[in-house]
Copies of this chain bind each other. A is one copy, B any other.
Amino acid sequence: MTGKRILIVDDDVKIVELIKLYLSRDGYKVYAAYDGNEAVRLAREVHPDLIVLDLMLPGMDGLQVCRTLRAKSDVPVIMLTAKTTEQDKLLGLETGADDYVTKPFSPRELAARVRAVLRRTTESVNVGPKEVVRGKLRMNFDAHEATLDGKLLRLTPMEFRLLGVLAREPGVVFSRARLIEKVFGYDFEGFDRTVDVHVLNLRRKIEPDPEHPRYIKTVYGAGYKFDGGGE
């Protein structure tokens, strides 16, 4: 697959190495941090697709790290816990961990859970409401359907995602960089201008008069925004 980035956070070097071995073998790019502060710093730097996080850490502990990270991003987290008590499990889940594994664990099981969580969350651009209605435009994210004036629109996956990002926050201007981040993903290596082409195609499908857009407006020098105002 596409070499997803995984950050391991544990103060036990041996454990880190063990996990590293197994995850590298599965084709992931693996980064390691040995305390909470480093974890937060590294996470901001490499934008991992998933974090394996020990509960017990020197300095900032796992729960705190998890909360800090979650405040700024949606990165999925798998918690490593030493104790099996129910309390720990619940704490882990409450802070938003996507899964938890209790030590001692089998590295293969951890690898399986990593795969599972990644599978689950890779597509989770779908945060927010299931449906959005903006005037005659209606988007249903569960069904992956968009209708205009009741008529079904035939949108490509990119178009659907792009329109989704814009329509979810009407009036907000998104720079091309931000749109790329939200729609294409962090590791997109292409040009800004690709966004323009998608906007163009989108306009042709949803605008009554594509030359004078009513929904997707251009903000010169800034980006694009969805204009729900006119109704």
Contacts and interface: CB of A to CB of B under 8 A. Distances in A.
A187 interface: yes
Nearest to A141: B173
B143 A225 contact: yes
A106 interface: yes
Interface in A103-143: 104, 106, 108-109, 112-113, 115-116, 119-120, 122-123, 142-143
Interface stretch (A45-53, A63-71, A177-185): A177-185
A13 interface: no
Contact of A186 (B86, B106, B112, B156): B112
B177 A122 contact: yes
A95 interface: no
A93 interface: yes
Given A89-B112, A109-B187, 19 more contacts: A86-B112, A89-B106, A90-B106, A90-B108, A112-B189, A115-B189, A116-B186, A116-B187, A119-B177, A119-B180, A119-B181, A120-B177, A120-B178, A120-B181, A123-B175, A144-B219, A144-B222, A144-B225, A157-B221
B142 A171 contact: yes
A201 interface: no
A140 to B, nearest CB: 8
